[in-house]
């Protein structure tokens, strides 16, 4: 059965977007070769990329550009080549290569994809989708990158989750740029 892995970046005070909905702060400017290698290694993985509309718009406006290809060629190649699924009730079409648009219930679609087999899925950004899928127990692994920045205000990644999620830490990795990757799995 394919796994759904959530990958998100959070500020030290726990926000995935700032008070204005911006995520540009999530790109740590500190140079770190080990961090760059980690990002490239994650990009080498296969699977299906899963987004909500806002994250999809952000990703689709950057990764297919010459700027992305110049700055992160391997990551850009993978982001553009991998199949993508975007949940949106407002988009009428998805123009980024190999993207399928789903306007229905995300939980039903993820359950269907898990039952059908196929590749693992990576859910990136998309706080509203994260909350819906986490509430239904459909996320198999949470990879959270904590960045050394305090935003003061913003939106919680788990906003809308109405019950406690018991998780266990399965991995921890520190980087010289101050980023820390925490990996959790749901308690059985």
Enter the pTM of the model: 0.93
Give percent of the chain with pLDDT exceeding 70: 100
CATH architecture group of domain 14-20+31-137+147-164: 3-Layer(aba) Sandwich (3.40)
pLDDT tens, residue by residue, 87-131: 999 998 999 999 999 998 999 999 999 999 889 999 998 888 999
Residue 76 and residue 97 in contact, taking contact as beta carbons nearer than 8 Å: no
Closest CA relative to residue 83, chosen from 116, 37, 128, 51: 51
Structure tokens at 2: 């394919």
Instruction: Supply the mean pLDDT for the chain.
Output: 92
pLDDT of amino acid 126: 85
Is residue 137 exposed (0-12), middle (13-18) or buried (19+ Cβ within 10 Å)?
exposed
């Amino acid at each position: 059965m394919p796994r759904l892995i959530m990958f998100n970046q959070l500020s030290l005070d726990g926000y995935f977007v700032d008070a204005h909905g911006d995520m540009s702060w999530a790109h740590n400017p500190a140079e770190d070769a080990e961090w760059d290698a980690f990002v490239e290694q994650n990009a080498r993985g296969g699977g299906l990329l899963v987004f909500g509309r806002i994250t999809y718009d952000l990703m689709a406006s950057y990764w297919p550009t010459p700027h992305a290809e110049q700055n992160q060629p391997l990551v850009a190649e993978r982001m553009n080549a991998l199949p993508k699924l975007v949940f949106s009730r407002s988009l009428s079409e998805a123009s980024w290569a190999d993207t399928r648009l789903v306007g229905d219930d995300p939980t039903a679609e993820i359950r269907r994809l898990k039952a059908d087999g196929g590749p693992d899925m990576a859910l990136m950004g998309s706080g509203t989708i994260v909350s819906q899928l986490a509430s239904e127990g459909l996320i198999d692994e949470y990879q959270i990158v904590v960045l050394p920045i305090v935003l003061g205000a913003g939106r919680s990644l788990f906003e809308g989750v109405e019950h406690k999620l018991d998780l266990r830490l399965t991995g921890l990795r520190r980087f010289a740029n101050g980023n820390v990757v925490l990996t959790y799995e749901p308690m059985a």
